Structure 1
Amino acid sequence: MKFSIGDKIVMKRTGEEGRVVAIVNKKMVEVEVAGTVFPVYNDDVDHPYLKWFTEKKSVQKKSAMPVQLPVEKLPATTRRMAKGAYLSFIPEFRTDDMEEMVSHVKVFLLNELPVNIRFVYDVRMAERSLFRLEGGLHAFGNIYLHSIPYAEMNDQPRFNWTLTAPDETMAEGIVRIKPAKLFEHITSIQQGNEPSFSYLLAAELKEKKKPEPMYEQPVAIGPSKTIGQSKHTAEQPRYELDLHIEQLRSNSKGLSNAEIIKIQLDTLERYLHLAIMHRLERMIVIHGLGKGKLRDEVHAMLKATPEVGRYKNEWSGRYGFGATEVTFRY
């Protein structure tokens, strides 16, 4: 290992000095420079002893004629991520029986927007909060939030987030990573020699909506129609959610079965979140019959949502067996 925790280092490009605070993997370490902690490749840092020796010699040497040193060609800079705010995850590896295993996952908030933001971050598991932090982040900055054990990542914690800009525009949502997807991410970054994987939270912040007045539960006319929505459809919960793809996309031609399922489950997750935010008592999810794949995926998501008290897929005159009734608990 080229570096150990506590070693003094110098950044090759900038000449800034710092120290090693963590070993990410065989090719990367985490360093602290001027109070900021961030990951770097081993090739981008060096031990500072040669720099100290060179500076000492240059002070002692008295030369009347300055020496023109060859200009070093700077390496190509790493391309910035696309505009937006991201939640970034860096796996920490440990060696167990000559095999690298993930022990913890470090979580960072990245602001690739041209404005300062305020954030509220809350990681929840079942009915409890694992970690919560509120603060500010300047434009094109990043902040280390916390470290979470890999075993807890397999329990699918919910990463709740809210971002607000000085002009009161905002965005909010939840990130939840399934165990199979987490394993896929880690395998991908190992194969691609990348330090982390990231989730885009928001490409831009939107104007904060004024609170809508309370309204009565709407009466649905048909199994594929939802009545009583305001003009801010995306911001309102639905008491009846139809997941048939033709209700979600005007043109679904060319979509694979996997893509259709993803669209349907993403829609369900979004409206579950809205229902919980508005503290709805119940909700009808229309999934149809088919081969039962969508129904099983819907039930799996409902089972993993702590706010869902119970759900039942029983025959009814309106839906047959093609819908599930959800009852929430708070």
Structure 2
Amino acid sequence: MLLLAFLPDPDPDGTVSRYEVFFINDGPTPALFTSAFFLRDVLEERVNGKLEPKSFRSLGILLFDQLNDAPSFELECWPVTKAGTGSRFFRDLKVKPSQFFKNVRTAPLLNKQAHCFQIFENLNPPAKQEKKEDLRAYTKANTQQNKVEEEAYGDWRDTLPGVKEYADFVNEIDLHIERLTDRHAKLSNAEILRIQMNHFETFLNKAVRLGVPSVFIIHGVGKGVLKDAVAQRLRQHANVKEYRNEYHPKYGWGATEVIFSD
């Protein structure tokens, strides 16, 4: 079983104002994972790593007040086998306060009381159909299986690349902070850059997944801090063939065109 555990971190007076978030692998299978933490659909933090069997990893801190900011976690896992990595598992966990305070139990491995959410029961591949069934039985069985998969993995079918998703994809992203969050007035420069780069990474990864040929990253001119951070990441990205910050009739000098490898 893989689960998220929110471990209370009490203040000196005993009140709880924050929780440390742990991703726990209480099963026998090692797994690679990616975790994306959102508040009101704004990406706040991304963590990548590997979970060995019977191990856990801290994903960061959730503040008590953030329970009212629609926190959610997108979790992807790939079981590690002798042949390499297995099929992708996906879950979009939306943390609702009413459920959060009900789901209290002893977290495995941590052995402490925590708010726990099961993410995946296991990382086993779906069982194969061994015998032929008539159409009615087949439809009934698969309808039941679909319900089980939706409960276990979330609506993972919508995450697979397809014709509609490719057609709907907008090949530009505006990284000006006012385009990304309404709560930018009190953010520090470091927090602004972190949010901008998280959105940039998410956009870039989606473009690569869908196989689009090129995109535009709108960063503005300004002092060039964001542009330099974007350029540094593009230099390191294995799927980027080339990128260029040239004058464009639509963006002026405020955007970088990214061309992906075939």
* TM-score normalised by structure 1 residue count: 0.38
Which of these two proteins has the greater Rg computed from alpha carbons? 1
* TM-score normalised by structure 2 residue count: 0.47
Higher relative contact order (CA 8 A, sep 6+): 2
Specify which structure has the higher proportion of helix.
2
